[in-house]
Structure 1
Amino acid sequence: MEEKHIKYYSHHLEREIDMLVYGSWGYPILLFPTTLGRYYQAKDMGLIESIRNLVDAGKYKIYCIDSVDADSWYAKHINPQYRVLNHMVYDRFLTNELIPYIKNECNVDKIGVAGCSFGGFHAANLAFRHPNLVAYLISMSGAFDIRSFLDGFYDDTVYFNNPVDYMPNEQGWKYGHMKIVLGTSDWDICLESNLKMSNILNSKGIDHWLDIRGWEKHDWPLWNKMFPHYLSRIL
Structure 2
Amino acid sequence: MEENLRKRTILRREITSNYLGEIRSYKLYLPPGYNPDQAYPILYAQDGEQFLNFGRGATAAQEMILSGKLYPFIIAAVTVSRENRTSEYGTNRSRNGLYKSFFIEELMPTVEREVRVSQRVLAGDSLGGTISLDLALEHPELFSHVLSLSGAFYPEVMKGVLRKPELRTLTIYMLIGLDETAVPVWDGTADFLALNREMKSLLEERGASVTYVERSGGHDWGFWQRELPDALTFSFGVLK
TM-score by length of structure 2 reads 0.76
| Amino acid of the structure 1 residue aligned with 2:163 | N
Deviations 1:163-216 (CA, angstroms, capped at 9, x unpaired): 2112112031xx433321111121124211110111111221222111111x22
Separation in 2 of the partners of 1:86 and 1:55?
37
Of residues 118, 126, 131 in structure 2, which corresponds to 1:122? 131
Q: Which of the numbers 192, 205, 220 marks the counterpart of 2:194? A: 192
Give unmatched runs, 5+ long, in structure 2: 1-7, 35-39, 182-191
Give the CA deviation at 1:69: 5.5
Distance 1:96 1:74 in 2: 19
Amino acid of the residue matched to residue 185 of structure 1?
Answer: G
Match of 1:65 in 2: 78
Aligned pair in 2 of structure 1 residues 72, 52: CA closer, same or farther (>3 Å)?
A: closer
Listed as ranges, the matches of 1:172-191 within 5 Å are 172=166, 175-189=167-181, 190-191=192-193
> Cα 1:69–1:131, aligned 2, differ >3 Å: closer, same or farther?
farther
Q: Conserved in 1, the CA contact under 8 Å of 2:128 and 2:151?
A: yes
Is 1:31 the counterpart of 2:45? The answer is yes
Residues 39-118 of structure 1 aligned to structure 2 (within 5 Å): 39-48=48-57, 49-54=59-64, 59-68=72-81, 70-71=83-84, 73=86, 84-108=93-117, 110-118=119-127
- The aligned amino acid for 1:179 is T
- Per-residue CA deviations over 1:61-90 (Å, capped at 9, x if unaligned) read 111112245236359xxxxxxx83422111
RMSD: 2.5
How far did 1:7 drift? 0.8
Deviations 1:25-57 (A, max 9, x none): 441111011xxxxx4222321432333324667
Q: Give the Cα separation in 2 of the matches to 1:86 and 1:120.
A: 17
The normalised TM-score by structure 1 is 0.77
- 1:167 paired residue number: 161
Q: Does 1:209 align with 2:211?
A: yes
* Misfit runs of 4+, over 6 Å: none
Shift of 1:116: 1.3
Structure 1 position 58, deviation (Å): 6.2
